[in-house]
Amino acid sequence: MKKVLKFGGTSVGSIERIQHVANIIKKERDAGNQIIAIVSAMSGKTNELIDLSNQISKKFDKRELDVLLSSGEQVTCALLTGALIDQNLNAKSWLNWQIPILTSGEHTNSRIINMNISKINEHLSRGGIAIVPGFQGISEKGEITTIGRGGSDATAVAFAKAFNADSCEIYTDVDGVFSSDPNKIPVAKKIDQISYDEMLELSSLGAKVMQPSAVQTAMMYNIPLEVKSTFTDRKGTKIFDQENIDYRKSVTGVAYSKDDAKITLIGVEDKPGVAANIFEPMNKAQINIDMVIQNISSDQKTTDVTFTIKRNDFLKAKEILENNKNISYKSLTHNDKVAKVSIVGAGMVSTPGVTYRMFKALADEKINILAISTSEIKLSVIIDEENTLNAIKKLHTIFELD
Amino acid sequence: MKKVLKFGGTSVGSIERIQHVANIIKKERDAGNQIIAIVSAMSGKTNELIDLSNQISKKFDKRELDVLLSSGEQVTCALLTGALIDQNLNAKSWLNWQIPILTSGEHTNSRIINMNISKINEHLSRGGIAIVPGFQGISEKGEITTIGRGGSDATAVAFAKAFNADSCEIYTDVDGVFSSDPNKIPVAKKIDQISYDEMLELSSLGAKVMQPSAVQTAMMYNIPLEVKSTFTDRKGTKIFDQENIDYRKSVTGVAYSKDDAKITLIGVEDKPGVAANIFEPMNKAQINIDMVIQNISSDQKTTDVTFTIKRNDFLKAKEILENNKNISYKSLTHNDKVAKVSIVGAGMVSTPGVTYRMFKALADEKINILAISTSEIKLSVIIDEENTLNAIKKLHTIFELD
């Protein structure tokens, strides 16, 4: 089998762990697989380098930041490759420019557009193992670029595509994708298999296991993913096409995001272009809008618009709404201590009553729902932040995820 | 003026110091100079990386060691460039493969053979500043290589040559080249100017200010060097062609090396090929021979051969001599606690009596001379190690270096 294995920062966070990762790779190699391994910087390293750059300037030049940060994965690449060679394996590291991994876009936020793995393929066909740094590439001008935090997942998926890999395995410090945050909900269960769509919803909604854009790419090219632990032998979570999944449960997981704030504009004039007027200045101020809810207007002349944003954007957003003359409304209400709790499941569409059961469960717990938003495989509610844990626990129980 | 400035590890050992180096470069730039700056890894960084590799394997793969170590200078490059940009200067970092700096030879011990600075020249002609990592390059196959410890000096001199620089300034943590080790001999004086030859002898003899091979290259291409402190405004030591130096003193400096051992073979058969027989097995065992002294034989049949080696090679050397049947001699004497003390000066040849004055001075101090070796600009003696400091002080005084 052709495999791409990706090892995150904690998986390579010490020499001992790097040796352990070398053992995992050796085992996969000995089983007859062709291996390309993608590595992150040792845990803490990227933050350490960012801290150094901040000490020099809060507006540290982005081209040079990429030169700085890319050194982190280079170190891991060399150490892991050295550890494999020490086990008499024919391993070799490839740096971004040696492949090359071509990217486009801005410094610190590029995306991979192409790569040439012909030399790597040649090396693998001779029984070799290839070690590659995640998170980075070079631009068409030959400048070092990085592809944003968590970008090593994207590197892994891009390699899996170019390599036509049979699987792309994301090794991390948890056993897989959980039905909810296992640190908060001790009864949260590892999910054995999940569709790309569900995974996307879960990761967009706060599950930090995989970078959403990497899941998206995997979905686009139908690359089977597996999230698993570097530190245990347990089976991980397989992520693949929805059609191949047997849904016994309507709800796969419960996700949440904290540090949200909610703003409601009451009595907004109900005519075309109003929503654009509200959100254009937000966009200019780089305020990310999460949920937007607008009801049919009762008097057919005005309507109420509710939206949620990150809490640290709250004051800026409020100021914009209060001072921008293009936005007219009767009054503004807000709550800057809310959380979003979501149930996710590709089986939801085919199971009647999921929506009702969610609302009933929250009512039983006397949790007030401040706003509701749905998609085909997701149902999100905004509630007071203090109720978050209670809500997750209750939903987890009634949807039989414990 | 076209200048190459090289900053060693202690000069860039912290963010504060990197900011200070940025100020030095800004000042030079503001004075109208074109600047290429070569930087080392932050002090301690290279050792830290070597330590990591040793934890993985004592025989860590050399190709991967080069990938590992080269990350150190990359970090300094980015930080220093960022600091300059923060001062509104048009600075840009170039990595080894972006230039490229071509090397030949083995991993961890390559040498620079060529570089293409056309893009750097273009950048400089537009008022830019170029920051380049020392110590590294790429092979013709496109592999990362390093050029040995202290190799940043060699990088600086190679750039000075390619750039046709007016001067190559080595910024370090001492004020310049001293007449002797200022930590041992408080009266040691900074030398204002010194010839390449003298500098070579001094650095080969233990003065650790500059890497000998870099001095050699500078001499070959007649590139004026200056060694100066990053931390004071004092004038440094200028190193240039002997012909341009006005020698008021016969002796420029006193150098020493400790941790030496001396072996004498008595009654060696005096015929061609004998010396080769003695030193061939030493070479095979990678034992570095320093001084070799052989007298005319008194009985015209046998002679005595004395040589010095590093103390930690002593037991190995003794074993070779005692067990190798190709080497015949009457007896072997040794002293494994000796030091070499040398006076160096291009003015020695033209000053009569220097040799006598040295021997007389040591005799006055009741220091026994175990062996003597001379060159045109150097006179070395082997003495008991315990007398080293006394000898240096005395020589320093009688040759008016205090």
* Predicted pLDDT of residue A247: 64
pLDDT tens by residue, B337-367 = 999 999 998 877 777 788 888 999 999 999 9
Of A38 and A173, the one with more pLDDT = A38
pLDDT tens by residue, B92-113 = 999 999 999 999 999 999 999 9
In angstroms, the first-to-last Cα distance of chain B is 35
ipTM of the complex: 0.81
Q: Which letter, b or e, does each residue of A14-28 get, where b requires 16 or more Cβ atoms within 10 Å of its Cβ?
A: ebebbbbbbebbbeb
- Contact check, Cβ <8 Å, B61/A144: no
Which chain A residues are Cβ-neighbours of B77 within 8 angstroms? 67
Confidence of residue B271 (pLDDT cuts 50, 70, 90): confident
Place of tokens 């919803």: A201
Which chain A residues are Cβ-neighbours of B92 within 8 angstroms? 63
Whether the CB-CB separation of B212 and B154 falls below 8 Å is answered with no
* Predicted pLDDT of residue B57: 96
Most confident by average pLDDT, A31-40, A317-326, A345-354, B349-358: A31-40
Residue A26: pLDDT over 80: yes
Of A270 and A18, the one with more pLDDT = A18
Angle between helices B274-284 and B314-323 (to 10 degrees): 130
Of B141 and B301, the one with more pLDDT = B141
Q: What is the mean pLDDT of residues B124-139?
A: 97
pLDDT tens by residue, B184-224 = 788 888 999 999 988 888 876 656 778 888 998 999 999 99
Which chain B residues are Cβ-neighbours of A52 within 8 angstroms? 15, 75, 79
Residue B287: pLDDT over 70: yes
- Contact check, Cβ <8 Å, A64/B82: yes
- Contact check, Cβ <8 Å, B57/A93: no
Element containing residue B322 per DSSP (H, E) = helix B314-323
* Predicted pLDDT of residue A206: 58
Whether the CB-CB separation of A12 and A5 falls below 8 Å is answered with no
Mean predicted lDDT score pLDDT of chain B: 90
- Contact check, Cβ <8 Å, A93/B49: no
Phi, psi for B26 (deg, rounded to 5): -60, -45
- Contact check, Cβ <8 Å, B82/A60: yes
Q: Which two tokens stand for residue B63?
A: 């190709």
pLDDT tens by residue, B39-55 = 999 999 999 999 999 99
Of A114 and B181, the one with more pLDDT = A114
Q: What is the mean pLDDT of residues A372-392?
A: 89
* Predicted pLDDT of residue B297: 66
Q: Which two tokens stand for residue B214?
A: 């870099």
- Contact check, Cβ <8 Å, B49/A75: yes
Residue B376: pLDDT over 90: no
Q: Which letter, b or e, does each residue of B370-379 get, where b requires 16 or more Cβ atoms within 10 Å of its Cβ?
A: bbebeeebbb
Residue A74: pLDDT over 80: yes
* Predicted pLDDT of residue B388: 92
Taking alpha carbons only, the member of A129, A143, A155, A174 closest to residue A223 is A155
* Predicted pLDDT of residue B273: 79
Confidence of residue A297 (pLDDT cuts 50, 70, 90): low
Which chain A residues are Cβ-neighbours of B141 within 8 angstroms? none
Residue A205: pLDDT over 80: no
Q: Which residues in B have their CB inside 8 Å of a CB on A? A: 15, 18-19, 49, 52-53, 55-57, 59-61, 63-65, 67-68, 70-71, 74-75, 77-79, 81-83, 85-86, 92-93, 95, 97-98, 142, 144
Confidence of residue B377 (pLDDT cuts 50, 70, 90): confident
- Three-class DSSP category at B35: strand
| CA-based nearest residue in chain A for residue B65 | A78
Residue B246: pLDDT over 70: no
Residue A225: pLDDT over 70: yes
Of A67 and A181, the one with more pLDDT = A67
Cα–Cα distance for residue pair A23/A84, rounded to 1 Å: 8
For residue B53, give the nearest of A49, A52, A82 by CB distance. Answer: A82
CA angle A252, A256, A261 (to 5 degrees): 150
Q: Which letter, b or e, does each residue of A250-285 get, where b requires 16 or more Cβ atoms within 10 Å of its Cβ?
A: bbbbbbbbeebbbbbbebbebeeebeeebbebbeee
Range scoring the smallest mean pLDDT among A19-33, A61-75, A244-258, B140-154: A244-258
* Predicted pLDDT of residue B346: 80
- Contact check, Cβ <8 Å, A93/B67: yes
For residue A56, give the nearest of B19, B67, B98 by CB distance. Answer: B19
Of A355 and A20, the one with more pLDDT = A20
Q: If you ran DSSP here, which 8-state letter would residue A243 be given?
A: G
* Predicted pLDDT of residue B248: 67
Domains annotated for chain A, with CATH where assigned, are 2-173 (3.40.1160.10), 254-398 (3.30.2130.10)
Confidence of residue B181 (pLDDT cuts 50, 70, 90): confident
pLDDT > 70: what percent of chain A? 96
Mean predicted lDDT score pLDDT of chain A: 90
* Predicted pLDDT of residue B144: 98
* Predicted pLDDT of residue A35: 98
Most confident by average pLDDT, A139-143, A243-247, A264-268, B266-270: A139-143
Residue B298: pLDDT over 70: no
Nearest CA to CA, how far is B63 from chain A (Å)? 9
* Predicted pLDDT of residue B206: 58
Which chain B residues are Cβ-neighbours of A93 within 8 angstroms? 64, 67
